[in-house]
């Protein structure tokens, strides 16, 4: 319904125009118009050869080109050149100047472009102009959604008559399609099909703003690769390299895929189960490109190949998955180039001569941003482009930069391969500025080495007379004393285990005398350990550095002594029972209270030891 509405709106406007065409334009006549529309890719290229005659007495210095507003919004590129006849295009004059024009008494639904002629046409004079108009998004998928097994059909709408404010004597139109398979097309008078070409005309004596609506519904399995945004960063290094980094956000804008995707079917029959899928992209890089890489957010992508010859370097890249209609992917490609191939000098300035558009074939770019990163210290910057672009500047901070590097930003929408022309960025740069970064590196290493030398030869120790040094010495003494206390406590615990072992031997052998000897030996050792602990505890009590840890040390000593007493009591009870021939339930009842307390005290002593050792 949207397509029909656009077409109806277009030709309703044309009907109104046919009744209000001003007579001021009647002096110019198009004696012959030969128009060719190329629909072999997603980019529609319309080439028109116009033979212009001046039938009036006044000289004519410009020719108007007309486009409907709904078609002009998709116009990406427009150029006009003089044709000398016999297929020869005049090179000396290059492209003719084209500006947007706004003729009076004509509605805004038509967009006019004025082509300036190299010299005014006198009465009866004529010349031939070749006009190339490139459109994007002019092919509409119809149906808009297809399955993996379906072919892709698109719809194209235009007029068989050349839309012009001038009368046309003779005109013809050729529509070139990618394949001979045509679903439907508009049949007018003098319509013929030759293979994959549809020819309309010739038509004679057409009035101004003549029109004949046509629509062609045909098969094309060419993928509609569109970069919704492309950011190209070109970084200049005067040490001999130009680094190019390109960030792509690509979507397939053909008929959207519906249903499930089967990779098995796609791999087995790719030309039947995914005929319109985007399998790969081909980028034509400069001939001496090096250090080429292709990656995305996940990492490096190995499905790429590079071929090179003296004229170009060709990079074939495959996405991680085939792109069907509506699917998208993001990736980055980068490569280095020799500086001498792109940077030149002119009148005391340096200028970069580099291509503007994407190196990928048949790629439409909705929004292209080109950033040229100049060396730090560049000034007096100017830009020259072959077509209008939005310009700006920013600053990029990189390694070893002080003020940052100036960045020239160029932005353009609706970019096609025809925009891949050379532009120039002029700037001034002092050669001495190249020594800034090496000098910074040398200075940095020099300062580092001097600092190391000073560090090795300067006494960085704390003065022995300072309060902090004395406090450190005192704390070291406290730590050593605590370690001695812990060592004595561990020896006591070792004797505890020996007492327990003597009880096990008693239950096994019944040797009471040996058990008494073990207890007597332990008593004597415990007394010695107690004597050793007294001076250590006295030192800790007198040291201000031990204030915080002293309570825990005293608690540890007290718990260990209580544990000694309980173990001795348990030991004595068991030995007495063995001497009195008491056993069984009564022995267990007498020992139970001692055993519970021993277990609890052992756990408390272990916890205190862990706490003190951590400190």
Are residues 91 and 47 in contact, defined by beta-carbon separation less than 8 angstroms?
no
Chain centroid, CA 330 distance in Å: 7
With cut-offs at 50, 70 and 90, classify the pLDDT of residue 464.
Answer: low
Q: Is 2's pLDDT higher than 50?
A: no
What number is the average pLDDT over the span 196-220? 92
Q: How far apart are CA 167 and CA 164, in angstroms?
A: 7
Are residues 326 and 223 in contact, defined by beta-carbon separation less than 8 angstroms?
no
Are residues 407 and 372 in contact, defined by beta-carbon separation less than 8 angstroms?
yes
Q: How far apart are CA 172 and CA 176, in angstroms?
A: 13
What's residue 16's pLDDT? 53
What's residue 459's pLDDT? 66
| Window from 17-21, 125-129, 544-548 with minimum mean pLDDT | 17-21
What number is the average pLDDT over the span 438-446? 86
Are residues 247 and 296 in contact, defined by beta-carbon separation less than 8 angstroms?
no
Q: Is 86's pLDDT higher than 80?
A: no
With cut-offs at 50, 70 and 90, classify the pLDDT of residue 20.
Answer: very low
What's residue 25's pLDDT? 61
What number is the average pLDDT over the span 446-463? 81
pLDDT tens column, 87-138? 555 554 478 999 998 887 777 788 999 999 988 888 889 999 999 999 999 9
What number is the average pLDDT over the span 503-514? 78
pLDDT tens column, 400-425? 767 788 999 999 999 999 999 999 99
pLDDT higher for 163 or 522?
163
Q: How far apart are CA 234 and CA 243, in angstroms?
A: 6
Percent of the chain with pLDDT over 70: 92
- Joined together, the tokens standing for residue 54 give 């001046």
pLDDT higher for 612 or 251?
251
pLDDT higher for 397 or 31?
31
Are residues 557 and 592 in contact, defined by beta-carbon separation less than 8 angstroms?
no
Tell me the CA distances in angstroms from 258 to 144, 147, 268, one per residue in order: 10, 5, 20
What number is the average pLDDT over the span 505-520? 79
What number is the average pLDDT over the span 254-279? 84
What is the residue-wise DSSP string for 130-156? EEEEEESS-SEESSSEE-TTSPPEEEE
Look over the chain and give the mean of its residue pLDDT values, rounded to a whole number. Answer: 86
Q: Is 31's pLDDT higher than 80?
A: yes
What's residue 24's pLDDT? 44
- Joined together, the tokens standing for residue 262 give 């089967």
Q: How far apart are CA 402 and CA 409, in angstroms?
A: 21
Beta strand extents in 463-576 (DSSP E only): none
| Strand partners for 88 | 85
Q: Is 584's pLDDT higher than 60?
A: yes
Q: Which of 135, 118, 134, 111 is nearest to 59 (CA)?
A: 118
| Window from 30-39, 77-86, 359-368 with minimum mean pLDDT | 77-86
What number is the average pLDDT over the span 454-473? 72
106 Cβ contact partners less than 8 Å away, ≥ 6 residues apart: 17, 20, 22, 112, 165
Dihedral (Cα; 172, 175, 180, 185), 10-degree rounding: -90
Percent of the chain with pLDDT over 90: 44
What's residue 460's pLDDT? 64
pLDDT tens column, 346-405? 888 999 999 999 999 999 999 999 999 999 888 999 999 999 999 999 999 887 767 788
């Amino acid at each position: 319904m949207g397509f029909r509405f656009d077409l109806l709106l277009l030709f309703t406007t044309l009907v109104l125009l046919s009744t209000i065409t001003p007579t001021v334009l009647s002096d110019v006549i198009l004696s012959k118009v030969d128009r060719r529309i190329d629909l072999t890719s997603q980019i529609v290229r319309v080439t028109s050869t116009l033979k212009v005659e001046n039938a009036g007495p006044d000289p004519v210095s410009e020719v108007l080109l007309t486009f409907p507003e709904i078609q002009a919004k998709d116009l990406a590129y427009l150029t006009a050149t003089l044709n000398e006849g016999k297929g020869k295009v005049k090179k000396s004059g290059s492209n003719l100047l084209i500006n947007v024009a706004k003729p009076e008494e004509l509605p805004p639904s038509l967009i006019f472009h004025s082509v300036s002629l190299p010299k005014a046409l006198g009465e009866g004079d004529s010349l031939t102009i070749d006009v190339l108009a490139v459109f994007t998004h002019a092919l509409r998928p119809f149906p808009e959604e297809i399955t993996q097994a379906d072919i892709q059909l698109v719809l194209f709408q235009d007029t068989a008559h050349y839309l012009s404010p001038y009368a046309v004597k003779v005109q013809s139109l050729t529509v070139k399609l990618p394949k001979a398979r045509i679903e439907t097309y508009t049949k007018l008078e003098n319509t013929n099909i030759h293979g994959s070409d549809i020819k309309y005309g010739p038509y004679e004596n057409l009035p101004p703003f003549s029109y004949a609506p046509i629509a062609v519904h045909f098969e094309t399995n060419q993928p509609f690769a569109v970069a919704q945004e492309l950011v190209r960063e070109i970084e200049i290094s005067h040490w001999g390299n130009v680094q190019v980094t390109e960030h792509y956000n690509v979507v397939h804008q053909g008929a959207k895929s519906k249903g499930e995707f089967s990779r098995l079917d796609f791999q087995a029959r790719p030309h039947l189960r995914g005929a319109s899928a985007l399998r790969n992209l081909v980028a034509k890089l400069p001939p001496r490109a090096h250090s080429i890489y292709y990656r995305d957010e996940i990492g490096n992508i190995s499905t790429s190949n590079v071929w090179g010859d003296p004229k170009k370097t060709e990079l074939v890249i495959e996405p991680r998955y085939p792109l069907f209609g509506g699917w998208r992917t993001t990736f980055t490609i980068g490569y280095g180039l020799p500086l001498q191939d792109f940077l030149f000098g002119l009148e005391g300035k340096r200028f970069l001569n580099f291509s503007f558009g994407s190196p990928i074939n048949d790629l439409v770019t909705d929004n292209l941003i080109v950033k040229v990163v100049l060396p730090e210290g560049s000034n007096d910057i100017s830009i020259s482009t072959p077509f209008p672009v939005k310009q700006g500047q920013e600053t990029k901070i990189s390694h070893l930069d002080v003020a940052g590097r100036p960045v020239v930003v160029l932005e353009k929408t609706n970019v096609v391969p025809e925009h891949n022309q050379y532009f120039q960025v002029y700037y001034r740069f002092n050669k001495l500025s190249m020594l800034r970064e090496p000098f910074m590196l040398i200075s940095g290493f020099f300062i580092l080495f001097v600092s190391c030398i000073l560090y090795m030869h300067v006494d960085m120790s704390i003065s022995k007379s300072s309060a902090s040094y004395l406090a450190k010495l005192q704390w070291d003494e406290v730590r050593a004393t605590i370690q001695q206390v812990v060592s004595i406590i561990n020896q006591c615990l070792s004797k505890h285990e020996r007492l327990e072992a003597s009880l096990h031997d008693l239950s096994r052998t019944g040797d009471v005398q040996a058990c008494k000897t073990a207890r007597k030996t332990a008593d004597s050792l415990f007394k010695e350990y107690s004597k050793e602990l007294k001076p250590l505890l006295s030192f800790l009590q007198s040291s201000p550095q031990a204030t915080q840890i002293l309570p825990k040390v005293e608690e540890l000593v007290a718990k260990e002594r209580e544990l000694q007493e309980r173990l001795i009591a348990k030991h004595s009870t068991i030995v007495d029972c063995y001497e009195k021939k008491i056993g069984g339930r009564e022995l267990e009842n007498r020992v139970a209270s001692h055993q519970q307390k021993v277990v609890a005290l052992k756990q408390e002593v272990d916890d205190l030891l862990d706490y003190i050792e951590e400190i």
